[in-house]
Amino acid sequence: MAVVETTDPAEAPNRESGKEAPVVVESITMAFGDFVIQRDLNFRIEHNDIFIIMGGSGSGKSTVMRAMIGLQAPAEGRLWFEGQSLWEIGDTVRQDLMRGAGVVFQSGGLWSSMTLAENVGLPLGEYTDLNAREIYEIAQLKLALVGLAGFEDFYPSEISGGMQRRAGVARALALDPEILFFDEPSAGLDPISSKRLDELILQLRDSLGATIIVVTHELASIFTIGNNCVFLDAQSKTQIATGNPLWLRDHSDNPTVREFLTRGHVDSEQDQTTDEES
């Protein structure tokens, strides 16, 4: 079993801790049949965290997130969501519980045939009794919150990729969730758009008090927004580090973690030190 580094040593999550933290992952294994993606995952996400799920390509980051948003059951273990065991409460109760979470998928996941206001209003029309005017007004408010005031009647094809991501965030906020999930939010964006999206994520955490979980391998975003993380290793198929990403970058003894978080520069630094000593 891999040794897991952490900057905040704690006992393994249990039922009581699941009632305290919004999300607790307890001995989770994700698999497709006999093919294991990740095994023996144990970590907790606290209120107001911006929690990063990171790791190299093929490490199963998005698969783990799918379990956390109620789309794919783990092969083993328990996932506590707001104090309830997410995969032991039945489909109907799980769907009701997940209304307390908003999800922003890659590229925003907007319906191309709908305006931005219609996209944002979609969950409101499905899960509330609000009339059309009320839904439009709330959609205006959510779009303004992400910096898209005045773009209510635009279609996704008429705005930039960065604006599409922001519209996706507005839709995720439609039902006023306390927990927000982002799947590779900066993928394919230019550096300026990525920076603005990072700033928006920080703003949402600070202004709304939201707990935010982000799947990403973008180092600039990880160090800018993340205060806690889990590192999933593709080779050992389990977690090998948890804690503050900046601390892990500067102090981790695990070469895989350090290489990832320094873009491989740690090896160059060590080689240079060795040469100087020689």
C-alpha separations of 270 from 2, 251, 275 in Å: 24, 14, 9
Give 139's pLDDT tier (boundaries 50, 70, 90).
very high
Give 246's pLDDT tier (boundaries 50, 70, 90).
very high
Domains with residue ranges and CATH for the chain: 48-69+100-267 (3.40.50.300)
Alpha helices in the chain (DSSP H): 15-20, 61-68, 91-97, 116-127, 132-145, 161-172, 191-208, 219-225, 245-251, 255-261, 265-277
pLDDT at residue 273 above 90? no
- Is residue 108 left, alpha or beta, with left meaning phi > 0 and alpha meaning psi from -120 to 50? left
Q: Which tokens is 32 given?
A: 């497709």
Measured over all CA atoms, what is the biggest interatomic distance in the chain, rounded to whole angstroms?
A: 76
Q: Which residue has the tokens 């998005």?
A: 62
Global confidence as pTM = 0.87
pLDDT value at residue 133: 97
- pLDDT tens string 29-50: 999 999 999 999 999 999 999 9
Give 30-93 as a DSSP string.
Answer: EEETTEEEEEEEEEEE-TT-EEEEEESTTS-HHHHHHHHTTSS--SEEEEEETTEEGGGS-HHH
pLDDT at residue 147 above 80? yes
Over range 116-121, report the average pLDDT.
Answer: 97
- The three-state secondary structure class of 252 is coil
pLDDT value at residue 117: 98
Over range 252-275, report the average pLDDT.
Answer: 73
**Cα–Cα nearest to 143, from 159, 163, 160, 158:** 163
- pLDDT tens string 56-93: 989 999 999 999 999 999 999 999 999 999 999 999 99
pLDDT at residue 23 above 90? yes
Q: Which tokens is 184 given?
A: 């590779």
Over range 203-214, report the average pLDDT.
Answer: 95
pLDDT value at residue 106: 77
